[in-house]
């Protein structure tokens, strides 16, 4: 087997759904990450579902995973790729989207999220809740990027959950959230988009963000891989859940839900400086090695999700995980968790708890410092090319030729001319 590049697998299973769960676990057991996964109609004429999986050869023990997969498969073909996913010559660079029409490939998620709730999830044994989640998740499964996001007719119970979350958190923000967050949260409430009476619709919020910073929301039915999530940010696309947490625990959710996205993330996505910062993390992730994605994801976790910063001598919160959970916010205010100075190289090595309250938080000297530190860290990620986002064509440009650099210089010169003219006018 080629140790470089990628391997694609197409398989059908002896037991369709149960077998798929086993197959996914099997890849997980051998630390093999998917670059892409989708279900396809089998071409054997059997009517079975077939699954197409693209794996990076370098990650985990792929050879053993394939051997194990054979024991639960009806059919299995493998192909080592001399070409990468998009037909370009293969290198060991993992696939990433380069065009707008490839964004939907980031959200491939073939399991219904409600069917894999963990035993400690508050909705684990609530069949009605799981069915409702799956109903809302179907919107994301059928969604194509660029189309209006279908609206959800949220129930009275869901609206009550939102009201509780919104009311309680809103009360805490003035004292605990960072300045930039509060400024943008104010805009969301002043515009009438955020009220306690109704769950804001992703389509409306996405349009609001588009007008503010060019960010757009894309509904997703479950967790996408961190690599894919970060790749979306490079396009200023934020993958967002549309369903609500379980009504029994409005103050805590073991996973992202629409409250987490709307209360935790959206206000800062509406901030032009933060939007550029978070896009830069996304750009740094494109084509990065599995090890560098792991480091970036931990830095992301301890900054964008759970970051703290000093402002006017006080500790303020800018992390969405804290700003969307009353319980976690209260936990951080106790003496229990440890506060460490934010240093990306250290955060990159710090493990974190995916569920439950965090035992460690990182505090930056300031909101601006945190962004500068992350930027500097992201720029150390080694790649044989650089990338930039072209907002006109909504595509990622790979810069690896002198002629492209010449064009870049021309554009920068034009910008400088504009700057010079503007300064003259203002003078
Ligand atoms: Fe989040």
228 and 88 together in one domain: no
Q: Ligand 1 centre from 383 Cα, in Å?
A: 27
167 and 282 together in one domain: yes
Q: Give the model confidence (pLDDT) of 12-56 as tens digits.
A: 888 766 677 788 888 878 888 776 676 655 544 455 677 777 777
Among 296-305, 307-316, 323-332, 381-390, whose mean pLDDT is lowest?
Answer: 323-332
Domain membership flag for residue 1:
no
Number of domains observed in the structure of the chain: 3
Query: With 50 as the cut, is the pLDDT of residue 224 above it?
Result: yes
CB 253 within 8 A of CB 350: no
Q: Ligand 1 centre from 204 Cα, in Å?
A: 19
SS3 state of residue 131 = helix
Number of H helices and E strands in the chain, helices first, is 16, 12
Domain membership flag for residue 107:
no
Is 36 one of the annotated binding-site residues? no
pLDDT at 117: 64
185 and 265 together in one domain: yes
Q: What percent of the chain has pLDDT over 90?
A: 43
Q: Give the model confidence (pLDDT) of 127-179 as tens digits.
A: 889 889 989 988 988 899 999 999 999 999 999 999 999 999 999 999 999 99
Average pLDDT, the chain: 84
140 and 168 together in one domain: yes
Domain membership flag for residue 101:
no
341's CB contacts (< 8 A; 6+ apart) are: 362, 363, 364, 365
Cα(52)–Cα(153) distance, integer angstroms? 34
Q: Give the model confidence (pLDDT) of 184-206 as tens digits.
A: 999 999 999 999 999 999 999 99
Average pLDDT over residues 270-289: 92
Q: Ligand 1 centre from 321 Cα, in Å?
A: 6
Identify the residue with better confidence: 337 or 180.
Answer: 180
Taking the mean position of all CA atoms in its chain, how far away is CA 193?
23
Q: Ligand 1 centre from 266 Cα, in Å?
A: 10
63 and 127 together in one domain: no
334 and 397 together in one domain: no
Task: List the catalytic residues.
Answer: 260, 265, 305, 324
Q: Ligand 1 centre from 256 Cα, in Å?
A: 6
What is the domain extent for residue 88? 6-95
Is 331 one of the annotated binding-site residues? no
Average pLDDT over residues 398-413: 78
Domain membership flag for residue 111:
no
Q: Give the model confidence (pLDDT) of 65-88 as tens digits.
A: 888 888 888 877 776 543 333 334
374 and 402 together in one domain: no
Is 260 one of the annotated binding-site residues? yes
């Amino acid at each position: 087997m080629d140790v470089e590049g990628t391997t694609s697998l197409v398989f059908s299973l002896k037991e369709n759904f149960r077998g798929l769960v086993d197959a996914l676990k099997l890849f997980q057991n051998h630390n093999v990450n998917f670059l892409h996964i989708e279900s396809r109609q089998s071409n054997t004429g059997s009517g079975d579902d077939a699954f197409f999986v693209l794996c990076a050869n370098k990650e985990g023990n792929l050879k053993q995973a394939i051997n194990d997969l054979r024991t639960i498969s009806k059919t299995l073909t493998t192909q080592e790729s001399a070409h990468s996913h998009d037909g370009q010559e293969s290198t060991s660079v993992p696939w990433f989207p380069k065009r707008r029409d490839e964004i939907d490939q980031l959200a491939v998620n073939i399991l219904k999220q409600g069917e894999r709730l963990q035993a400690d999830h508050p909705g684990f044994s609530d069949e009605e809740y799981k069915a409702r989640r799956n109903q809302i998740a179907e919107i994301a499964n059928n969604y194509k990027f660029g189309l209006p996001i279908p609206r959800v007719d949220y129930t009275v119970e869901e609206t009550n959950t939102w009201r509780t979350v919104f009311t309680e958190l809103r009360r805490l923000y003035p004292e605990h959230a960072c300045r930039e967050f509060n400024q943008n949260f104010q805009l969301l409430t002043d515009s009438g988009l955020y009220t306690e009476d109704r769950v804001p619709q992703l389509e409306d919020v996405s349009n609001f963000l588009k007008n503010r910073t060019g960010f757009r929301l894309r509904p997703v039915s479950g967790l996408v891989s961190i690599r894919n999530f970060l790749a979306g940010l490079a396009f200023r696309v934020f993958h967002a859940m549309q369903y609500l947490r379980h009504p029994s625990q409005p103050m805590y959710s073991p996973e992202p839900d629409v409250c987490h996205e709307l209360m935790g993330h959206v206000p800062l996505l509406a901030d032009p400086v933060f939007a550029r910062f978070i896009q830069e993390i996304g750009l740094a992730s494109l084509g990065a090695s599995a090890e560098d994605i792991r480091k970036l994801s931990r830095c992301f976790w301890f900054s964008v999700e759970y970051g703290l910063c000093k402002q006017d001598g006080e500790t303020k919160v800018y992390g969405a995980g804290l700003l969307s959970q009353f319980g976690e916010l209260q936990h951080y205010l106790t003496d229990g968790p440890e506060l460490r100075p934010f240093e990306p190289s250290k955060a990159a090595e710090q493990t974190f708890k995916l569920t439950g309250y965090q035992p460690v938080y990182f505090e930056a000297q300031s909101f601006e410092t945190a962004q500068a530190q992350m930027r500097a860290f992201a720029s150390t990620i080694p790649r044989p090319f650089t990338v930039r986002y072209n907002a006109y064509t909504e595509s990622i440009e790979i810069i690896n030729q002198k002629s492209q650099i010449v064009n870049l210089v021309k554009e920068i010169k034009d910008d400088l001319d504009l700057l010079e003219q503007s300064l003259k006018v203002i003078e």
